């Protein structure tokens, strides 16, 4: 695809447009499965048109191979591109038929492995390895690591790419802020050796360091693995946004206050909470499994580090602004049931969204403590439901605390209607998020499951939210705000208990009942309403670009930042770092 898009000479314009559109989606999702819904998306071009374009790329000398070899490769790839029933889901947490969650998922974490194979198998590298079943039935962990210079740790999967990362991490040490040099050394050690011990060492040093120019880097989030064990590679570099930093730091400084007032049992409440490091930031770059869709983040994910050293939270102000400006208020207007709901959402919706993100990341993920009877991370016990639980728990902490007078005292909330705006949005999202799931009747993505779980649970247990039809359109209507908060507290307390005790059966029952299934007729209605609004249903981001100036000794003396508009050119530039032939010949 990149070879064709970078050198379009000889390809018919109408074919080139279809291939370019598909390639944009491919880049944005790191493949041809939607990274929100996990569903496969199909191209508008035909196999014959792809062959025509590939042969043109060969004539342009950016694809190697004879025409016969290229046709053979395209024939082998045809099911992957064009067959909707061939490996349809990247991550299948609710598979149908005889396949289990690993067999039905098409990611690269497992090869020939079933859930039954994992019984009594202990992984040495649970986060950063590919698990393969050999011909003789043995399970082998193919660890992601670069290897050490002395050969004591042999190179593993992705060694070439990890060595490239290490090369730049070594260069970054010369520009590190105080304490950050050791953080970089610890990350390099992890990439070389790949053992969990070095990952925890890096996490501990990283979370205790709070520089103005910060970063995250590693195999971090486990959403793409149906088991919730294998991490995907991601990175960002950020700069603290001092203008809006008060919001998030004020919440962090009062973490113990909010912990004490959580609705769960005292035995699950932390004492001596270390205020998490928290900051509002602008991102310089986002790569790998990290994108503009992320408006907040809380890391590290390991409870072992949380309890000893705390966490670090980020509020990505640029992403929040971009979403607000791109969507405007037409979505709220369409799905608000009353004029009052719309006006409150219009006035306070952005403030409520930023506040929810801050509460979610700072006092949501870092809150609570596990039962001493657990000898592993809670995710070990909760398995494929762990991420949904954790995202729901963090959202509920925001919804629970938005009415607390402490926020007014800290100057973090401008009007009581901010709380109503947050509740209205939390109810509406159970409808609006269906626009991103064009096929099927189940939700696979953890954040979407968490939002559906919250709304459906409150509807069932308290009646505070009702699905109402008017003039052929459906709305989520809040009948009683106090009852809704009561439902928030009920679910939050139960989720904390489940996490603390590692109660797999309880979280499975909750999520399967309230968070997975939806009425496809309702989804079709929502998609039709959004189509009339001409609002995007999918997002991709363009990174800023940095141009350095060097002195005579080769040291960076200044950096110019620019903001490109050409997504295709930027992505081809990244690809050319590894394949120079992909330097674009496209016209600007």
Higher pLDDT, 217 or 588: 217
> Helix (H, G, I), strand (E, B), or coil: what is residue 517?
strand
Other beta carbons within 10 angstroms of residue 529's beta carbon come to 18
Burial class of 30 by CB neighbour count within 10 A (0 to 12, 13 to 18, 19+): middle
* pLDDT band, residue 325 (cuts 50/70/90): confident
Q: With CA atoms as reference, report the closest residue to 353 among 324, 329, 392, 327.
A: 324
pLDDT of res. 295: 87
- From residue 524, alpha-carbon distances to 135, 439, 441, 473, 531 in Å are 45, 9, 11, 11, 11
- From residue 371, alpha-carbon distances to 276, 339, 497, 529 in Å are 21, 47, 9, 46
What is the tens place of the pLDDT at every residue in 160-173?
A: 999 999 999 999 99
What is the tens place of the pLDDT at every residue in 481-497?
A: 999 999 999 999 999 99
Task: Tokens 């705006």: give the residue.
Answer: 421
What is the tens place of the pLDDT at every residue in 229-244?
A: 999 999 999 999 988 8
Provide the 8-state DSSP code for 286.
E
* pLDDT band, residue 366 (cuts 50/70/90): confident
Q: In 156-194, which positions are buried (b, 16+ CB within 10 angstroms) versus exposed (e)? A: bbbbeebeebbeebeebeeebeeebebbbbbbbbbbbbb
> What value does the mean pLDDT of the chain take?
94
* pLDDT band, residue 588 (cuts 50/70/90): very low
* Spatial contact of 105 and 90, defined as CB atoms under 8 Å apart: yes
* pTM of structure: 0.86
Other beta carbons within 10 angstroms of residue 260's beta carbon come to 12
Could you state, in order of their start, the residue ranges of all structural domains in the chain? Answer: 2-88+542-582, 97-222, 232-533
What is the tens place of the pLDDT at every residue in 246-263?
A: 888 999 999 999 999 999
Q: With CA atoms as reference, report the closest residue to 356 among 414, 297, 399.
A: 399
As a residue count, the chain comes to 588
User: Both tokens of residue 343?
Assistant: 């006006």
Higher pLDDT, 365 or 581: 365
Mean pLDDT of 382-389: 96
Q: Rounded to the nearest 10 degrees, how much is the dihedral formed by the CA atoms of 545, 551, 552, 554?
A: -50
What is the tens place of the pLDDT at every residue in 530-559?
A: 999 988 777 888 999 999 999 999 888 999
Peptide bond into 323 cis (omega under 30): no
């Amino acid at each position: 695809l990149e070879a064709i898009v970078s050198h379009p000479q000889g390809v018919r314009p109408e074919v080139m447009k279809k291939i370019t559109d598909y390639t944009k989606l491919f880049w944005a999702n790191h493949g041809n499965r939607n990274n929100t819904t996990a569903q496969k998306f199909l191209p508008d071009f035909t196999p014959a048109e792809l062959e025509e374009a590939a042969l043109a790329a060969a004539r342009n000398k950016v694809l190697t191979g004879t025409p016969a070899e290229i046709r053979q490769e395209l024939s082998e790839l045809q099911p992957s591109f064009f067959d909707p029933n061939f490996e349809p889901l990247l991550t299948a947490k609710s598979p149908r038929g005889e396949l289990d969650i690993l067999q039905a998922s098409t990611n690269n974490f497992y090869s020939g492995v079933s859930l039954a194979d994992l019984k009594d198998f202990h992984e040495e590298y649970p986060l950063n390895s590919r698990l393969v079943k050999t011909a003789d039935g043995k399970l082998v962990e193919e660890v992601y690591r670069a290897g050490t210079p002395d050969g004591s740790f042999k190179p593993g999967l992705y060694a070439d790419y990890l060595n490239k990362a290490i090369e730049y991490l070594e260069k970054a040490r010369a520009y590190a802020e105080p304490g950050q040099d050791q953080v970089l050394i610890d990350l390099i050690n992890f990439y070389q050796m790949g053992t969990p011990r070095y990952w925890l060492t890096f996490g501990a040093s990283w979370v205790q360091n709070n520089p103005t120019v910060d970063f995250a880097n590693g195999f971090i989030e486990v959403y793409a693995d149906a088991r919730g064990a294998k991490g995907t590679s991601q990175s960002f570099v950020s700069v603290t946004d001092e203008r809006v930093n008060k919001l998030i730091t004020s919440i962090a400084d009062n973490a113990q206050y909010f912990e004490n007032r959580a609705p769960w049992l005292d035995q699950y409440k932390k004492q001596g909470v270390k205020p998490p490091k928290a900051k509002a930031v602008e991102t310089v770059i986002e790569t790998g499994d990290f994108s503009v869709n992320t408006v907040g983040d809380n890391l590290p994910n390991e409870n072992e580090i949380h309890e000893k050293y705390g966490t670090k939270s980020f509020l990505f102000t640029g992403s929040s602004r971009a979403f607000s400006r791109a969507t405007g208020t037409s979505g709220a207007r369409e799905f608000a049931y009353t004029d009052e709901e719309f006006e409150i959402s219009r006035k306070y919706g952005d403030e409520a969204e930023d506040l929810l993100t801050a509460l979610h990341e700072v006092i949501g993920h870092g809150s609570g403590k596990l039962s001493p009877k657990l000898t592993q991370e809670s995710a070990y016990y909760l398995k494929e439901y762990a991420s949904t639980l954790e995202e729901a728990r963090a959202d509920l902490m925001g919804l629970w605390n938005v009415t607390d007078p402490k926020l007014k005292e800290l100057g973090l909330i401008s009007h009581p209607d901010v709380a109503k705006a947050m509740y209205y949005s939390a109810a509406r999202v159970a409808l609006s998020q269906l626009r991103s799931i064009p096929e099927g009747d189940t939700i696979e993505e953890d954040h979407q499951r968490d939002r559906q779980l919250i709304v459906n649970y409150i509807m069932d247990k308290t009646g505070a939210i009702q699905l109402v039809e008017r003039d052929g359109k459906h709305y989520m209507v809040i009948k009683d705000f106090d009852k809704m908060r009561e439902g928030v507290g009920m679910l939050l307390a139960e989720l904390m208990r489940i996490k603390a005790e590692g109660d797999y059966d309880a979280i499975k029952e909750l999520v399967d009942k309230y968070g997975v299934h939806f009425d496809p007729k309702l989804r079709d209605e929502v998609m039709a309403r959004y189509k009339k609004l001409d609002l995007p249903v999918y997002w991709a981001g363009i990174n800023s670009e940095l141009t350095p100036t060097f002195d005579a000794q080769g040291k960076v003396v200044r950096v110019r930042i620019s903001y490109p508009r050409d997504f295709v050119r930027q992505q081809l530039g990244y690809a050319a770092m590894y394949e120079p032939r992909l330097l674009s010949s496209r016209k600007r």
